[in-house]
Each structure stands twice: as C-alpha cells, then as structure tokens.
C-alpha cells in the first residue's frame, strides 16, 4: 500500500510535475527548432504539397460546415441582442468582426486539430512503435526533417486559407439568418461589414492562424513522435493516449495563444 502523503512532502509533490512540465516544454521547443531548421532541405517540396492536401483540402468541407453554422448562430444571436438597442443594422459588422478577429482563426484551428492533427499524432505514433522512425534514422534520413518539417510548412499555408474560407462562409451564414430570415436590408448588411472591417483586423486574424498552425502541428507531431516514452501505456494504447493528449494540448495552446495574441494585437 502507498504511504499516505505527509504534509511535508507537499512541496516535493508539487515539484516533480513542475520539473516535468518545464522539461517537456524545453524538449518541445528544441523539437520545433530542429523542425524549422530543416524546412529548407532537398526533397521537401513534394512532401509539403502532399501534406497541404491532407491538412488543407481534406478539411475543406468540415470547415465550410462549421463556418456556415457559426455564422448563422452569430446572425441570430447578434440580431436579437442588437434589436433591443434598435441597431440591428449593425449586424453585418458584428458578425464579420467576431469571425475575422476571433472565431475564424480559433474555431478553424480547433477543428483542424481534431481532424488533421489527431491523424498526424496517430500516424507518427504508429511509425514510432513499429520501428519505422528507427528505420529512418538508420538510413540517415532525419525523421524530424522527413515527417515534421513538411507538416509545419503545410499547416502554415493551409491554416490561413481555411480560416479565410471559414470567415467568408460564416459571413454568408450571418447573411442567411440576418437578411434572408430576419429581414435586414442586404445592402446595409454588406455596407456595415465593409465599413467596420479594417485591414488590421484581417491581418491580425491571419497572424493568429499562422501562430495556431505552428502550435497545433508542434503539439500533434511531438506527441506522436514521443509516443514510445509514455508512462500511461505501451504500444497501441500509448498511441491512443498520445492522440488524446495531442488534441487536448492543441486546444489549450490555441486558446492560450489566442488570449496572448489578442492582447498584443488590440
């Protein structure tokens, strides 16, 4: 039986996870740096294109679906809030700004983390437990350069594009509820969008999505790459746990970075 934890052990019990946390943060940073350093190496182009297809093109319909419903909900909620102040004409601005500044980058990143990110972790994790990564290393093919760098570049390209798709479709969703269903003048809707949205909003949104791209890919690739070092399971169980923790970590990263970036950009 485990001895009961004495109060005197409390600092030690706090210390171990803290050290482990810092240790892992450090090794993630090194992992990222080594992936970034190898972006420009021979034979990367075709791998990047293949990954853009997986991360970007294959996520398109999911993003479109989430985008339209998010926009429709925003339209509904926004209308009933604004109508109380008699300013339902501002709906377009409200929908567009919330999408472009916040919801577009954040929700796209979360959805891609769930879809493409989890697949990355599982794929790399399986490669780890079946010796494929060792085999790469033995052939003197750097596994980080082979597996991680192309995914990071592909994400940096795909995330902003998917975010743009999300924004546009979301604005159309707001149009559906606000204009088509609730009867706001269509000209007013678009005029307000054009009037309220500045280039800073748009570029800020894209800056966020680039940051999220790096964080999500880092979390997902790292967790898969390290699947064999997990203490909460081995083999397929470790890959499953790695996938779960990669998605959770991606979400935490995205929301924390969102706060930091918003406070910097505002």
Partner 1 sequence: MSLDDKHITAKKSKAWDIELCDLRLGYGDTVVLEHVTDTFPGGKITAILGGSGCGKSTLLRHILGLRTPMSGQIYLDGRDIFTMPKKEFRRMRRRMGVLFQDGALLGALTLGENVGLPLTENTRLSKSVIRDVVRYKLSLVGLEEFADYYPNELSGGMRKRAGLARALVMDPPLLLCDEPTSGLDPINAAQMDQLLLSLKQEFPDMTIVTVSHDLASVKTIADHVLMLHNKTVIFAGSGEELYASEDPYVRRFLSRKAVPGKITGIELSSEVRAELDRWISQ
What residues line the site for partner 1 (CB under 8 A)? 43, 123, 126-127, 130-132, 134-141, 146
Question: First CA to last CA across the chain, in angstroms?
Answer: 54
Least Cβ distance, residue 112 to partner 1 (angstroms): 20
Cβ–Cβ under 8 Å, residues 27 and 144: no
Within 13 Å and on the Cβ side, how many CA atoms surround 184? 28
Least Cβ distance, residue 140 to partner 1 (angstroms): 4
Least Cβ distance, residue 60 to partner 1 (angstroms): 22
Least Cβ distance, residue 129 to partner 1 (angstroms): 11
Nearer to partner 1, 2 or 46 (CB): 46
Nearer to partner 1, 7 or 42 (CB): 42
CA triple 86-185-180, angle to 5 deg: 105
Cβ–Cβ under 8 Å, residues 179 and 91: no
Q: What is the rounded CA–CA span in Å between residue 162 and residue 155?
A: 10
Among 134, 126, 136, 137, which residue's Cα sits nearest to residue 235?
A: 126
Nearer to partner 1, 146 or 225 (CB): 146
Q: What is the rounded CA–CA span in Å between residue 184 and residue 226?
A: 53
Nearer to partner 1, 66 or 239 (CB): 239
Least Cβ distance, residue 134 to partner 1 (angstroms): 5
Radius of gyration of the chain (CA): 22
Nearer to partner 1, 200 or 229 (CB): 229
Nearer to partner 1, 82 or 127 (CB): 127
Question: In b/e form, how buried is each residue of 1-28, taking b as 16+ CB within 10 angstroms?
Answer: eeeeeeeeeeeeeeeeeeeeeeeeeeeb
Least Cβ distance, residue 223 to partner 1 (angstroms): 19
């Amino acid at each position: 039986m485990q001895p009961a934890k004495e109060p005197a052990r409390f600092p030690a019990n706090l210390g171990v996870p803290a050290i482990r946390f810092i240790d892992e943060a450090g090794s993630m940073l090194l992992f990222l740096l080594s992936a970034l350093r190898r972006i420009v190496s021979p034979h990367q182009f075709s791998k990047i294109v293949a990954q853009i297809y997986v991360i970007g093109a294959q996520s398109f319909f999911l993003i479109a679906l989430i985008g339209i419903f998010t926009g429709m909900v925003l339209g509904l909620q926004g209308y009933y809030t604004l109508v109380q102040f008699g300013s339902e004409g501002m709906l377009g601005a409200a929908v567009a700004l919330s999408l472009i500044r916040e919801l577009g980058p954040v929700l796209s990143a979360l959805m891609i983390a769930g879809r493409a990110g989890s697949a990355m972790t599982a794929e790399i994790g399986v490669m780890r437990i079946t010796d494929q990564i060792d085999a790469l290393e033995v052939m003197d093919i750097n596994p980080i350069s082979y597996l991680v760098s192309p995914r990071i570049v592909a994400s940096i390209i795909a995330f902003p594009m998917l975010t743009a798709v999300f924004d546009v479709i979301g604005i159309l969703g707001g149009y559906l509820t606000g204009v088509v269903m609730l009867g706001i003048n269509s000209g007013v809707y678009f005029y307000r969008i054009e009037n309220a949205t500045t280039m800073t909003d748009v570029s800020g949104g894209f800056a966020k999505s680039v940051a999220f791209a790096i964080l999500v890919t880092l979390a997902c690739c790292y967790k898969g790459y390290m699947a064999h070092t997990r203490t909460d399971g081995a083999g397929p169980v470790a890959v499953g746990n790695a996938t779960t923790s990669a998605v959770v970590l991606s979400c935490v990263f995205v929301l924390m970075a969102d706060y930091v970036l918003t406070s910097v950009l505002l």
